[in-house]
Amino acid sequence: MRKILAATALAGSMALTGLAVAPAAQAATSGATEVTTSTTSAGNWGKYYSSNKKAYTYGKTWKSGGKVYTHWYGKEFTSKQGYIWFRYEYNSGRTGKHFYGWNGSHDHTWSKRDIKKVWTYTCWGGKFSFCGSAHRIY
């Protein structure tokens, strides 16, 4: 009964804020390959976990000389790989995304020009497996 009440309250609050209910319900019941967004981080961000908590990422994002830089760290605790995805929107409105895979512990820095917004999420075991929710980091 509590689960039904919690789901009803969640659906009502999501409907009031204009968010779609179906992706959140699907993410709550399935292996969670659907992602949702949260608020913007300033500078440092994370720890952002995969949906099964076997991998996490954290890092820092900053702008310098017209480029947006992201330095990230990834940790995972098994023989399978962790994956970090980055989705971004350019100033022109175009979008793009890319990912990095790692095993154990890893860190990396990447940058792109003319970026307006950046989101990240963490997956484990496969590029599209056990993905956590998306978080806006810039």
What's the confidence (pLDDT) of residue 42?
Answer: 54
With vertex at residue 80, the alpha carbon angle to CA 76 and CA 86, rounded to the nearest 5 degrees, is 60
Quote the tokens at residue 30.
């399935």
Quote the CA–CA distance of 92 and 109 in Å, as a whole number. Answer: 24
CA 78 from centroid of its chain's CA atoms: 20
**Structure-token match 């399935």, residue found:** 30
pTM, entire model: 0.69
Return per-residue pLDDT of the chain as tens, 138 residues: 444 445 554 454 444 344 343 434 444 434 444 444 444 445 999 999 999 999 999 999 999 999 999 999 999 989 999 999 999 999 999 999 999 999 999 999 999 999 999 999 999 999 999 999 999 999
Backbone angles phi, psi at 65, to 5 degrees: 60, 35
- What's the pLDDT score for residue 32? 44
